[in-house]
Structure 1
Amino acid sequence: MANTASTASTAAPRAPGRADRPGPRGRRSDAPRPSRRRPVRFSPGPYLLIAPTVAIIAVLILYPIGQLVWMSFHKIGTREVRGLDPAQNVGFKNFSTVLGDDFFWKVFLNTVLSAAAMVVLTMIVGTLIGLLLNRLGKRMSLLVSSGALLAWATPAISSAIVYKWLFTPGGGLVPWFLDLLPDWLVGGGWEDYNWFSEPLTTYVVLVLCVVWQSFPFIAVSVLAGLKSVPSELYEAARVDGASPWTIFWQITFPLLKPVFMVLTVLSIIWDFKVFTQLYFLSGGTANRDSFNLAMYAYSEAVAFPAKYGLGGAIALVLTAILLVFTGFYVRVLVRQGEVA
């Protein structure tokens, strides 16, 4: 009887548990249910938030660029601007006139050479000052960097006035100082020498003026990059007997290469379109041999008779050159992960 009872109890069917009960429509209750995705609804909120910014950009940037493009394909003078005559569509005639002019390529060469000198000197001086600031104490570094940033914050016209006074013949500080040096070293006659009568000397003063105003930004940017470099790398290099030159090229430059690339592209963009300093130093548009592309576009647009279409074509060529460097700059930022 005991064996029969145990056998019966063993053979008795087990009540179905919760996991064994069939779910609705023959599906087990523990089976994963398909996720139900809610339909994406259009929300105008984010677009309304950025609408004022887009409107400002359209008014201040896109509209002037559109006007520049339109003017470069038309013959526009004073009468057309005043509405007395309709603007005449000339197609690519303004561009063919500009690119076929030998003077344009001379101005283009002035722009490229001067910008190259400005960029190279700005990067060298800014990097050296950045390395110096990194070696100074906290208080002295703050004092020197604050003094350098005063030059960077100076308006372009103010810096041009300062350098015009420094190199003015007959009373400038630089001619006076050069005249004190021995003639066998620098020659004579510097007291009355006009630095702004020749394109070469004009650009020498212009390069010095732009470099003086631009290097603080490079120095502070390099200093910020140096703060991110681990000090253990420099200590290990000094223990191995590496010279400062070797430490810079083997440690500092490779680690700060992205920073140097961005700063170089920015300097090219800024120095390619220098206008205010050159306009003041050269005395306006009288000395055409000292023109760069920005001065050339301005001169063609405002000279009598005014040729706004031709000036717009020159400005559009300069804009296209700057867009190439801007595209390279954005590409560098994307590769560094700064832009999504």
Structure 2
Amino acid sequence: MANTSTIARGGGDSSAPARRPPRSRRQAKASGMPAWLVPYVLLAPGLLVIAGLLLYPTIQMLIMSFQKVGLRQIRGVPADWVGGENYTQIFESEIFWSSLRNTVVFAVVTVTLTLVLGTAVGVLLNKLSKRMSTFVVVGIMSAWAVPPVAQGVIWRWLADADAGMINWALNLLPDWFSELLFGRADWTGEPWLNDAFTVYLVLIVCVVWASFPFIAVSVLAGLKGIPAELYEAARVDGSSAWRTFRKITFPLLKPVFSVLTILSVIWNFKVFSQLYVLMGGPTNREAFNLSMFSFAEAFRSPPKMGSGAAIAVVLTALLLVVTAVYVRQIVKTEEM
């Protein structure tokens, strides 16, 4: 009777074991610190490493962009504070604006081609058998694993004027077909890496070749999480492949595409190693992008590291603006 009255009053069964607090609270209590502080303490080592490797050099670069830094300062002479003079000089330079144009156009073209090709390959991989899909993934990821400098070396060999395979392959085309497509039949000795336009053609192919495997594997991982019932229902309704992709695949993979787009923009805006190897150094000013222009200003004789730092700050600001705008659009889409 007593037990019944106790339960009725909400006291519960006295013989039942007491409910234990969550594990995180028990750990916080044992360590003697508030529960809200535990995540920050755990993140502190990683944040300190990031601050040491990224934040401190970024602050130093920002300070240097307002100073005149050259050979004398490298030898220990204090740097002179010049205010915004470095920024004024680079904004008045024609090379800066041509470099900015090259950077933006290259990023737009490369990001578009990388996402389209990577998505197409990812969809194809999803339709292959497990064994064949694994084989293809290992093959394409081998290209993604090649270091940027090695990528530049490979495509520099391929585009060589005398012994490159690009000229050799184009010479294999029938003369009438080559004339129809390109207006010429003989490609012997074609100097692909001497002109700014053709340098960027080779650079685009090089970067897309090395970047699309990551996009393809990421899209494949996203496709594995889409229920097969949706595609079965679409087939029953007679939906075409393109309509199925537009109505089912793309909306469900929109978060994946958003992250891949941001990463691709960041990577392609600051491409340097491949362009440096293809050009053989900062030799052709017409083919500079902002990274190459910053390097040339900072390290080519006479070194002007303040100007190089100012260009790097402008490039960083552009990336932050592009990323912030895109992230804001993602947040708005998710809220809607």
Q: Report if the CA contact (8 A) 2:144-2:213 is conserved.
A: yes
Counterpart of 1:217 in structure 2 is 214
Distance 1:263 1:284 in 2: 30
Counterpart of 1:58 in structure 2 is 51
Aligned residues: 298
Q: Report if the CA contact (8 A) 1:169-1:195 is conserved.
A: yes
- In the superposition, the TM-score normalised over structure 1's length comes to 0.82
More helix as a share of residues: 2
Bigger mean CA deviation after superposition, 240-249 or 299-308: 240-249
Q: 1:13-162 counterparts in 2 under 5 A?
A: 49-83=42-76, 85-162=77-154
Cα deviation code 1:171-216 (max 9, x no counterpart): 1111101012123322223121010010111001000000011001
Instruction: Read off the aligned partner of 1:298 and give its amino acid letter.
Output: F
Counterpart of 1:297 in structure 2 is 294
Cα deviation code 1:118-176 (max 9, x no counterpart): 10110011000000000000110111111111111111111111111111112111110
Q: Report if the CA contact (8 A) 1:300-1:311 is conserved.
A: yes
Q: Secondary structure at the match of 1:191?
A: coil
Contiguous gaps of at least 5 residues in structure 1: 1-39
Instruction: Read off the aligned partner of 2:102 and give its amino acid letter.
Output: N
Contiguous gaps of at least 5 residues in structure 2: 1-28, 179-183
Distance 2:225 2:112 in 1: 24
- In the superposition, the TM-score normalised over structure 2's length comes to 0.83
Cα deviation code 1:38-97 (max 9, x no counterpart): xx98658766544432332222111100110010000111101211x3211111111111
Distance 1:255 1:71 in 2: 45
Distance 1:88 1:174, change over 3 A: same
Distance 1:130 1:46 in 2: 36
Q: Secondary structure at the match of 1:65?
A: helix
Counterpart of 1:200 in structure 2 is 197
Aligned-residue sequence identity (percent) comes to 52
Distance 1:262 1:49, change over 3 A: closer
Q: Report if the CA contact (8 A) 2:118-2:212 is conserved.
A: yes
Instruction: Read off the aligned partner of 1:157 and give its amino acid letter.
Output: V
Shift of 1:335: 7.0
Q: Secondary structure at the match of 1:116?
A: helix
Distance 1:207 1:216 in 2: 15
Bigger mean CA deviation after superposition, 62-71 or 236-245: 236-245
Instruction: Read off the aligned partner of 2:60 and give its amino acid letter.
Output: Q
Match of 2:232 among 229, 232, 235: 235
Counterpart of 1:169 in structure 2 is 161
Distance 1:206 1:188, change over 3 A: same
Q: Report if the CA contact (8 A) 1:258-1:336 is conserved.
A: no
Q: Secondary structure at the match of 1:168?
A: coil
Counterpart of 1:3 in structure 2 is none
Instruction: Read off the aligned partner of 2:299 and give its amino acid letter.
Output: V
Bigger radius of gyration: 1
Q: Secondary structure at the match of 1:170?
A: coil
Instruction: Read off the aligned partner of 1:100 and give its amino acid letter.
Output: E
Cα deviation code 1:261-310 (max 9, x no counterpart): 11111100100000000000011011111110000000000011110000
Instruction: Read off the aligned partner of 2:296 and give its amino acid letter.
Output: S
Instruction: Read off the aligned partner of 2:307 and give its amino acid letter.
Output: L
Q: Report if the CA contact (8 A) 1:266-1:329 is conserved.
A: no
Q: Report if the CA contact (8 A) 1:262-1:332 is conserved.
A: no
Instruction: Read off the aligned partner of 1:57 and give its amino acid letter.
Output: I
Counterpart of 1:178 in structure 2 is 170
Q: Secondary structure at the match of 1:241?
A: coil
